[in-house]
Amino acid sequence: MNTEELLIDADGHILEPPDLWERYLEPKYRARALRIRVGDDGREFLEIDGQRAVLTSPTLLTSLGGMKKLKELGEKIEGFNASRRELLRSRSGEQRETFASLGADGHRETYLSGCAFGAMDMKERLELVKHEGMAKVVLYPTLGLLWEAELFDSELSSAYCRAYNRWITEFCRDSGGRLVPIAHLSLGDPVEAAHELERAVKDGCKGAFVCPFTITRKPHGHLDHDVVFAAAQDLDVPLAIHPTLEPPAWGVHQRFDNLEGADWYLDLFAAQGVPQAFATLFQYGVFDRFPRLRVVVLESGAGWIGYWLNRADAIYRRTALGSTVQLKERPSFYFTRQCYISADPDERSIAAMTRLVGEDRFFWASDYPHPDHPGDYLEELRGMVEDMTTSGRRGVLGENVARAYKLLER
């Protein structure tokens, strides 16, 4: 990239210290803290409210910093995959161990041993940011993306969020603004979420995110969540939707049986809950009620947004289905006024999308250090922006996210 271009990663991740919730929860909740324990089999597992997590396997837990190993393997990953496929032809039930095979060279793998450089240490992350020529990175959690799918107690969910938010602002505090903290909110108790957003922003958070489902099963755009939208609008910070693990009965993978271990397939569609949640904001007229609210769509790709907006406009304007949408204008109007979307660096349709949808609507994001994205994201990013106009390129690389989160204002 041109060294004069502002480069900001819109969605990087940290790996939280395993004792974060034990240290940062209010005393009344500490016995129910999110924590990592060791089972009778010697393998670590995630504990949520005193119960062993079902959706987070020990293999997943140890793989969460897996981009480190992907970077080390480089082109050798193709050879690894080929040998792994051959092994899986002759052995059943092995797919879930794929990421574990990328691990610690014969040593017992743990959550901490799989931690990538800069994923848990502020000074290391600043070294990485400098080495990669970035001005800033916007940070999201890792363990924080796992627990909501298995916790249906709104009070404890809010407490888990508060604990993380206190820690992440502390983690970023002395980074000179180069590490950007984002608050985690649970919509189980919207009034408490609004209060926490106000507290977290005052403490240094530059925005907040919610997961793509709600434990109440109320759509994100439901009027009961207006208190959260109002708070985000008044505080002048964006509200993002970020993919997480989802309760199986509510997820997008219920169409077929016998897909256990089909990790490629499952990951390919894992983020479909995000556009579904996003669409409810249009269905319920959120953008007319809150015309200054900024919404960010994360880690679900961005190439789909052109078709999505075309289809959304068409059925809004030219079919009777549009009468059910409580909006004064067509959906694309609000997207180009109030919404942003992040693209993976390996997407090749984004140059065209910026011309069709708007150069100021797109970010890029590394997802570092998670193992479901390749490690050569800066090389891929060069390919993503090479056909863009100068203004489009500058916007995608960093200016758009800086504007959306007001990162350059003092």
Confidence class for position 99, pLDDT limits 50, 70, 90: very low
CA–CA distance, 231 with 183 (Å, rounded to integer): 13
* pLDDT score, position 94: 47
- Give residue for tokens 């959260």: 228
285: closest CA among 336, 323, 342? Answer: 323
* pLDDT score, position 81: 64
Q: Is the pLDDT of residue 73 over 80?
A: no
| Confidence (pTM) | 0.91
Residues of the chain above pLDDT 70, percent: 88
Q: Taking all residues of the chain, what is their mean pLDDT, rounded to a whole number?
A: 90
For the segment 115-119, the average pLDDT, to the nearest whole number, is 92
Collapse the DSSP code of 37 into the 3-class scheme (helix H, G, I; strand E, B; otherwise coil) and give the result.
Answer: strand
In the chain, DSSP finds a helix count (H) and a strand count (E) of 17, 12
> Encoding tokens for residue 196?
């926490």
For the segment 294-316, the average pLDDT, to the nearest whole number, is 95
- Give residue for tokens 């298995």: 150
Q: Is the pLDDT of residue 103 over 50?
A: no
Containing 51, the helix (H) or strand (E) segment is strand 51-52
CB 368 within 8 A of CB 67: yes
CB 14 within 8 A of CB 119: yes
CA–CA distance, 369 with 374 (Å, rounded to integer): 9
* pLDDT score, position 74: 64
For the segment 198-223, the average pLDDT, to the nearest whole number, is 97
Q: Is the pLDDT of residue 292 over 50?
A: yes
Collapse the DSSP code of 391 into the 3-class scheme (helix H, G, I; strand E, B; otherwise coil) and give the result.
Answer: helix
Question: What is the torsion angle, in degrees rounded to the nearest 10, for the CA atoms of residue 297, residue 384, residue 408 and residue 355?
Answer: -70
Give the domain ranges of the chain: 8-31+116-404
> Encoding tokens for residue 85?
């496929």
Q: What is the pLDDT of residues 338-380, one digit of tens each?
A: 999 999 999 999 999 999 999 999 999 999 998 877 778 999 9
CATH for 8-31+116-404, options being 3.30.365.10, 3.20.20.140, 3.40.50.280, 3.40.50.2300: 3.20.20.140
Q: Is the pLDDT of residue 151 over 80?
A: yes
Q: Is the dihedral of CA 327, 329, 330, 334 positive or negative?
A: negative
CA–CA distance, 7 with 2 (Å, rounded to integer): 9
* pLDDT score, position 218: 97
Q: What is the pLDDT of residues 214-268, one digit of tens each?
A: 999 999 999 999 999 999 999 999 999 999 999 988 877 677 877 777 877 877 8
* pLDDT score, position 102: 52
CA–CA distance, 195 with 190 (Å, rounded to integer): 9
Q: What is the pLDDT of residues 177-189, one digit of tens each?
A: 999 999 999 999 9
Could you count the other beta carbons within 10 Å of the beta carbon of residue 150? 17
Q: Which residue has the higher pLDDT, 42 or 372?
A: 42
Q: Is the dihedral of CA 388, 390, 392, 397 positive or negative?
A: positive
Q: Is the pLDDT of residue 100 over 50?
A: no
Question: DSSP of 220-287, one letter per residue?
Answer: TTSGGGHHHHHHHHHHT--EEE------GGGSS--S-SS-TT-HHHHHHTGGGHHHHHHHHHHHTTHH
CA–CA distance, 403 with 102 (Å, rounded to integer): 38
